[in-house]
Amino acid sequence: MTAPPLSNSELPTIVLVGLVADLMLNKHWLLATAESCTGGMIAAACTDLAGSSNWFERGLVTYSNEAKTEMLGVDAALIATHGAVSEPVARAMAQGAITHSKAQVAVAVTGVAGPSGGSPEKPVGTVWFGFMVDGQLSSEMKYFDGDRAAVRAATVHHALQRLLQLLA
């Protein structure tokens, strides 16, 4: 008896990375990441795969607001108006990752991993994602339950899962 096929949400992270890698290689594209709440965990997951230098271009850890402005070109006024954890900032981070790299694909994440830092409007577990795939910008917000480690792991997994969908 064979097991039923797994959905993307059930695939282990390393499997998702392998599928993303295959699509990136087939398209001859490069990936850049712009990470805040994950602190480089998406880039680490990507570079855990041998041969990732053929499709992974760079990872930018922009944890502070200043880093988002200096390294990605996110307008400080945008952060002041909407907050670092917001759709406009996630979108600007994805655009900035493309602008400041040789990549055709970018994923950006900014969120509240906890245990502190949350608010009624943006509780712990709130994460905004920005994606730029071949000139097409998209974004979405997700809420993840759990402690800091769980929120960060879920963010990495969702970023790769959504990237796979956008590339397919």
- Burial of residue 98, with CB atoms counted within 10 A of its CB: 0-12 exposed, 13-18 middle, 19 or more buried: buried
- What value does the mean pLDDT take over residues 95-118? 97
Stretch 12-20: mean pLDDT: 96
Place of tokens 């712990």: 124
More confident: 150 or 1: 150
Q: Check whether 95 has a pLDDT greater than 90.
A: yes
Cα–Cα dist 143/122, whole Å:
9
Q: pLDDT above 70 covers what percent of the chain?
A: 95
Residue 120: how many CA atoms within 13 Å on its side-chain side?
0
The predicted model gives 90-98 an average pLDDT of: 98
pTM: 0.94
Give pLDDT, residue 2: 47
Per the prediction, the chain carries an average pLDDT of: 95
Architecture of domain 14-167: Alpha-Beta Complex (3.90)
Tens of pLDDT, residues 135-166: 999 999 999 999 999 999 999 999 999 999 99
Q: What percent of the chain has pLDDT over 90?
A: 92
Contact 130, 16 (CB under 8 A): no
pLDDT at residue 86 greater than cutoff 70 = yes
Interacting residues of 103 by C-beta distance below 8 A, sequence separation 6+ = 29, 30, 31, 32, 57, 58, 97
